[in-house]
Structure 1
Amino acid sequence: MKKNFLVFFCLISVQVIFAQIRTIEGGFGRGRGGLNQNMDSLPDNEINVKLSGKTKYTDYKIISHKNDTTIVDTTLTIQKEYKFNFLRKDNFELLAFHNQGQTFNNLGYDFTNISKFPNIGFRAKMFNYFEIEEVNYYHVPTPTTEIMYRTGLEQGQVLDALFTTNFSKRFNLAIAYKGLRSLGAYRRSLASTGNFRVSFSYETPKGQYAIRGHAVNQDFFNQESGGLTETSLEAFLADDPNFSGNRGRMDVNLNDAESTLDAKRLYFEHTFKLLSSKDSVSQKDFSNLKLGHSFTRDSKFYRFTQGTASDMFGDANISSNINNKTIYLLYNNQFFLDFNSKYVLGKFRVKTELSNYAYGYENLQNNTVGITKNKLKGDAISFEADWNGRIGNFHVNASGSLTPGSGRLSGNHLSGEAFYKKDSVLTVKGRLGISNKSPNFNFLLHQSSYDNFNWENNFSQIGTRTLGGVIESKWGNASLDITNISNYTYFDENGQPKQFSGDVNYLKAKASKEFTFGKFALDNTLMYQKVASGNSVFRVPEFVTRNTLYYTDEWFKGKPLLVQIGATFKYFSKYKANVYNPLLAEFTLQNDTEIGYPTVDLFFNARVRRTRIYFKADNISSFVLKKNYFSAPNYPYRDFVIRFGVVWNWFI
């Protein structure tokens, strides 16, 4: 964690320097919402700033990759409680492993945002990975900092620090680092991760030229235990008192295995405005003509190392110093043209992309299995279009892409949504998605010192079709998605890549509603899932529910303290959950074990001005329930543990 405290010290130093010049008085008004909240949903409170005039809190803007604008929000809500984890996302559809920084099993799946191209794979390492769309840009009137701290398990902590400032109204710079190190309660479960991000945005005084971009450096390290041995598993299920107080005494299957994913990305996008609304003689016909270009360099490598070969994975061509490293590199150049017109009822963008990739290994990992190819290479050209239209309260967003040819990047994508929005009272949305793409590269080529984990495949494209809808209203929220997948690709019980010969038909319905009773509230989320066909290879629990009963009040004279006290009950029905394979960093099928159980967590949260404080008692239900709680077969979920954290915003 030395890197974490170095980043923290640097951010403190920058803040002190700026504090000599600017000072904020007062705080943010209380409202409801998450960390990023829509500007239209908050009251018109203000922050008085010793600058020229007054600065509203709505001037502290967070701008997404799609140019959606939200604001820095320091309120304390139940959604903040759900997002207070190392992912900083609501993980309702995920089942965490016992130590933060480890992977997650899936309780549900989302197919509404499918990438156009295959990726490196090794998906169990990707939950904490920042994609291009997850890096934010900012516009703030004064230097702004957010610090999130959370204790680890046994030893360690999480620190997520952000500092952003506008050097002028047109130029913003943001620096952020999220670091985690947590020892874990079981042997060989140490997790250490880092996500370093730098983003910037700039436009010329008249807005004719604009550029934004980011650089991201990410690393994810895990000791790999392989789960409990058969003897230790029996002791866990029987609640053997010799191990209940010290899980580190239990034996695990792997004693010297480690995995690492490193990733670096450079991205920028710039535009030049050829014609603005003011320049156009016929503004209603054609305006805001803009040329643009974006560039992406994305590199990743996954490494699995082991001191001595284990029979857990079968025979190996070497007996020690196993070191398997997979490399991936993608270059992408996109050229686009934007314009507004009454003939398209909004904004239209046409794009052309040039992509080049390389995936594989520096040399052959195993000379005894007959594989001769150690790399996959190729390039492709894509043609795309986006449309954003609006008529009154009715909105339409659509995008399509075509990558012709027979290469591994070839495919086509079509997505669209139409929604009606009436202020903050009602939103009704329908959506459609069609995608055809190759499987991830680790399904097509994989090499290892273990004989059984070497393959070359020429799989068919995966076809995914989704149809769904969402209703959001003051009376509650609901969504329904129906997904059909052809050539579904998975890893079987032996860790071998396979394609399902039939179709997978998957239905997911979710509903949420909060009931309030004075200072008490009951927040409920229920998800129902059904796999009509293909349940032999695609498995999810039928029911998942989360119910939180909590109390909110302002304490002490002058109401300086807002408290939030409650309990969260979560349950998922039994299903044959996939098992984690540390060599592949993927989840594979298994047919022997069903998991499904309830958990109860207690929390005490508080807000003092712009600081939110979190205390949480995880899995208090472990005192009374059977020891049958698992994240995956052979991997127990966490026992009862108390953790502390804080989120702190500074506006200088």
Structure 2
Amino acid sequence: MKKNLVFIIILLIGSIASAQEGNEEELNEVRTNEKKTPDFAQKKKPFTKKTKSKPPITDYKIISIKNDTTFVDTTLTIQRDYNFNYLRRDDFGLQPINNVGQTYNSLIKVEEYNHLLPLFGARARHFNFMEAEDILYYNVPTPLTELYFKTTFEQGQQLDAFFTVNTSPRLNLSIAYKGNRSLGKYQHALTSTGNFRATANYRTKNDRYSIRTHFVSQDLLNEENGGLSKTGLNQYLNNTEEFREEADEFSDRGSIEVNFENAESILLGKRFYLNHKYDILKKTDSTNTNIAVGHILDLTDKSFQFDQAAPTDLFGESYDSDALVDKVALEDFSNQLFVNVNNNWLGSLIVNAGISDYNYGYNTILTLEDGTDITNRIKGNIVSVGGSYQKYYKGFQLAADGMSIISGDFDGNYLNASAGYQLGDYGLQVGISSSSSAPNYNFLLYQSDYVNYNWQNFNNTDATNDFKNVETQKIHANVQVKNWANIEASYSTIDNYTYFTKNTDSITVPEQYDGSLNLLKLKLSNSLKFGWLGIDNSIVYQNVSNATNTINEVGDVRTFEVYNVPNIVTRNSVYYQDYWFKRALFLQTGVTFKYYSEYDADGYDPILSEFYVQSPNEIEYFDNMGTDGDTTQTFGGFPQFDIFFNARIRQTRIYFKVENFGEAFSQNNEFSAPGYAPRDAVIRFGLVWNFFL
């Protein structure tokens, strides 16, 4: 079987090498971030089949929602290895739960502040959910295809297929689908996800009118097992004499007991997005000012549903002894008008105003046993105004953007400002940010068939129970030394921080911290090359202060930290790379070391699909699983090694990786979240293949 596999791989590599044609020098060019790249659509003689020379790689342009433009890059770098995963982006600072397509525990929390309305809940399911800013647009001289494939755990695979074409020099269309199905090694942990997206990018012949639009449909399904049961924890850890004798049996993760095998959750989403503008005054040789008016429309529907065939005592009492179905939906419809004035001397100024209609909630009103009514809807609209500014001049960069609600049931605003200077290989940027927004919808209103998972924290009869806006202030700085190091520093203050935690009955509940917590974050990124050898380092230091909360529940006083992250998170790679076989193959191989310091990791709640802060009782429970009273459930403080072997043949990148290599010699006894194990050692294979027709 192994000989046949090796033969198939060799045959595949050989067929790729013989089938593809391309300009090797062009494909080795590095990616650029400059906005003004050559535009084939403005050439007098567009590329045709009769043209002998192929269009340069810089003509295959990728455009973001902010109009930043790069081009297709088929090179093989260490960053490409970091991006070769389920998310298709660098996952540094994320600790995955055991199966592909499940959620991640955030070692480095990224707070989402640049929004006015509350965010939809089920944030643990949003790592692979594509928002409007994640969608890219294209402009290509010839049809372009990209195929991504990677193996998963047990049965299943990952695939991301993308195709784009310019039907004319001014109209580009693209279509893509990313799918994942993985059975997983533990019982009832199957994941099945799909992300469909289609885009259009058009501008008129005189370049006065332009339009970018996309449609996205997404479904992210996970079977839920509630993590390892008490028996399953002992089976996994082999920390009693009984289970040590059966250690070989439990090395098969499918034989380890989980809490339940009858539940699943699914996040669904659809979005239609339209961004178009018209130039009233266009820049010419006689004027250096451009004035444009535009309109942005965003129609988003989301829903989250948790199904369970029968209730479990793990989450307390339930209203129904049969199947449970918790479903919540959000309809968000926003329109925004803007005026953009762009002057060579003054810079680019945008003034905008918008209106948003929101409708979040459930189909029933719930009355609790004490007579309290839990409403079913948060519904209304807001009116907002804002603007942004950008100016680049001889290395100096100025930027600012902000928005504020001026009418509606919610209050909210945000402001970001930054200044920077680039001098050759050296760059410095400093900035400030401030925001105020309501907590996510599932903090404000939640209904469930489980009795204790019902709450309303807005428009209460007793207004003191209403949750306040989360307010954040941040200052940050970034120092860059090209081809050597990048240093980032930030200091944040968060007021009215909202979080989930466990109460004295071990039920997940929403809480709001009435203090002001502080977060210091330092990051060093360093990349060095010595001939054939390369070293890449990313190190983050985090320090949280003034985050201790005390809650008194019926005489039970609980003290705990509301914001938990490891102090140190690091990733270090040492690798070899060079051309082989007369430059027909580019080889890259090495090892990546990952580590984060020990800390009290957040737990995962499958009903909410949210992470929660561990309560003192829960920490004590997991810390005393060992027969000798030792701490056996470890979060961090252990190394992880990945060995990779990558190759590029023309436009194809081939990836082999041994993930969590050290576990192959000794079974895991660590955890990604309370009750949830990390991934075992596994060999995975994949490729990314580009076609330029």
1:141 aligns with 2:144: no
Contact 2:219 2:266 in 1 (8 A): yes
How far is the alpha carbon of 1:362 from its aligned partner? 1.6
Q: Which of 545, 565, 576 is the matching residue for 1:540?
A: 565
1:492-551 C-alpha deviation (Å, 9 max, x unpaired): 123111100101101111101123232111211111000022151000000011111111
Partner residue in 2 for 1:325: 327
Partner residue in 1 for 2:499: 490
Letter of the 1:88 partner, please give it: R
How far is the alpha carbon of 1:243 from its aligned partner? 3.5
Letter of the 1:487 partner, please give it: N
| 3-state DSSP of counterpart to 2:663 | helix
| 3-state DSSP of counterpart to 1:255 | coil
1:600 aligns with 2:641: yes
How far is the alpha carbon of 1:638 from its aligned partner? 1.0
How far is the alpha carbon of 1:480 from its aligned partner? 0.6
Letter of the 1:439 partner, please give it: P
1:583/1:383 Cα in 2 relative to 1: closer, same or farther (>3 Å)?
A: same
Letter of the 2:223 partner, please give it: Q
How far is the alpha carbon of 1:177 from its aligned partner? 0.5
1:275 aligns with 2:281: yes
1:371-405 C-alpha deviation (Å, 9 max, x unpaired): 34111101010001110112211011100111024
Instruction: Give the distance between the partners of 1:454 and 1:374, measured in 2 at CA.
Output: 11
Partner residue in 2 for 1:17: none
| 3-state DSSP of counterpart to 1:443 | helix
Q: Which of 605, 609, 625 is the matching residue for 1:585?
A: 609
Instruction: Give the distance between the partners of 2:487 and 2:670, measured in 1 at CA.
Output: 29
How far is the alpha carbon of 1:407 from its aligned partner? 1.5
Contact 1:526 1:546 in 2 (8 A): yes
Instruction: Give the distance between the partners of 1:24 and 1:331, measured in 2 at CA.
Output: 46
Q: Which of 448, 451, 460 is the matching residue for 2:468?
A: 460
Instruction: Give the distance between the partners of 1:68 and 1:160, measured in 2 at CA.
Output: 23
Partner residue in 1 for 2:377: 375
Q: Which runs of 5+ in 1 are unaligned?
A: 1-22
Partner residue in 2 for 1:6: none
Q: Which of 561, 582, 590 is the matching residue for 2:585?
A: 561
Partner residue in 2 for 1:386: 388
How far is the alpha carbon of 1:32 from its aligned partner? 7.1
Letter of the 1:29 partner, please give it: E
Instruction: Give the distance between the partners of 1:42 and 1:201, measured in 2 at CA.
Output: 17
1:645 aligns with 2:642: no
1:271/1:39 Cα in 2 relative to 1: closer, same or farther (>3 Å)?
A: closer
Letter of the 2:26 partner, please give it: G
Q: Which of 250, 255, 258 is the matching residue for 1:249?
A: 255
Partner residue in 1 for 2:219: 219
1:627-646 C-alpha deviation (Å, 9 max, x unpaired): 33211011000111111000
Instruction: Give the distance between the partners of 1:601 and 1:632, measured in 2 at CA.
Output: 21
Partner residue in 2 for 1:15: none
1:29 aligns with 2:26: yes
| 3-state DSSP of counterpart to 1:55 | coil
Q: Which of 498, 507, 512 is the matching residue for 2:525?
A: 512
1:299-339 C-alpha deviation (Å, 9 max, x unpaired): 10000000000011000011111011001010000000011
Q: Which TM-score applies when normalising by structure 2?
A: 0.86
How do 1:118-129 and structure 2 match up within 5 A?
118-129=118-129
Contact 1:157 1:181 in 2 (8 A): yes
Partner residue in 2 for 1:86: 86
Partner residue in 2 for 1:470: 478
Instruction: Give the distance between the partners of 1:97 and 1:366, measured in 2 at CA.
Output: 37
Contact 2:197 2:215 in 1 (8 A): yes
Partner residue in 1 for 2:106: 106
Instruction: Give the distance between the partners of 1:102 and 1:313, measured in 2 at CA.
Output: 21
1:45-101 C-alpha deviation (Å, 9 max, x unpaired): xxx984546511100000000000001000000001111101011111111111110
Contact 1:228 1:634 in 2 (8 A): yes
Partner residue in 2 for 1:355: 356
Partner residue in 2 for 1:8: none
How far is the alpha carbon of 1:129 from its aligned partner? 0.6
Contact 1:39 1:58 in 2 (8 A): no
Letter of the 1:311 partner, please give it: D
How far is the alpha carbon of 1:250 from its aligned partner? 0.9
Instruction: Give the distance between the partners of 1:266 and 1:173, measured in 2 at CA.
Output: 15
Instruction: Give the distance between the partners of 1:113 and 1:435, measured in 2 at CA.
Output: 6
| 3-state DSSP of counterpart to 2:309 | strand
Instruction: Give the distance between the partners of 2:81 and 2:366, measured in 1 at CA.
Output: 46
Partner residue in 1 for 2:185: 185
Q: Which of 654, 669, 679 is the matching residue for 1:628?
A: 669
1:481 aligns with 2:481: no
How far is the alpha carbon of 1:37 from its aligned partner? 4.7
| 3-state DSSP of counterpart to 2:153 | coil
| 3-state DSSP of counterpart to 2:672 | strand
How far is the alpha carbon of 1:192 from its aligned partner? 0.4
Instruction: Give the distance between the partners of 1:595 and 1:314, measured in 2 at CA.
Output: 27
1:101/1:37 Cα in 2 relative to 1: closer, same or farther (>3 Å)?
A: farther
Percent of aligned pairs sharing the same letter: 41
Instruction: Give the distance between the partners of 1:365 and 1:27, measured in 2 at CA.
Output: 65
Aligned residues: 616
Partner residue in 1 for 2:463: none
How do 1:304-315 and structure 2 match up within 5 A?
304-315=306-317
Letter of the 1:599 partner, please give it: Q
Task: Tell me the C-alpha RMSD between the 2 structures.
Answer: 2.1
Contact 2:116 2:414 in 1 (8 A): yes
Letter of the 1:55 partner, please give it: P
Partner residue in 2 for 1:422: 423
Contact 1:366 1:448 in 2 (8 A): no
Q: Which TM-score applies when normalising by structure 1?
A: 0.91
Letter of the 1:506 partner, please give it: L
Letter of the 1:340 partner, please give it: N
Instruction: Give the distance between the partners of 2:184 and 2:667, measured in 1 at CA.
Output: 22
Letter of the 2:477 partner, please give it: G
Instruction: Give the distance between the partners of 2:533 and 2:376, measured in 1 at CA.
Output: 61
1:253-289 C-alpha deviation (Å, 9 max, x unpaired): 121010010000000011111111228x6x25xx211
Partner residue in 1 for 2:435: 435
Partner residue in 1 for 2:629: none
Partner residue in 1 for 2:514: 501
How far is the alpha carbon of 1:426 from its aligned partner? 2.0
1:567-612 C-alpha deviation (Å, 9 max, x unpaired): 1110000000000000010001114155112101111000011000
Instruction: Give the distance between the partners of 1:247 and 1:94, measured in 2 at CA.
Output: 23
Instruction: Give the distance between the partners of 2:50 and 2:509, measured in 1 at CA.
Output: 63
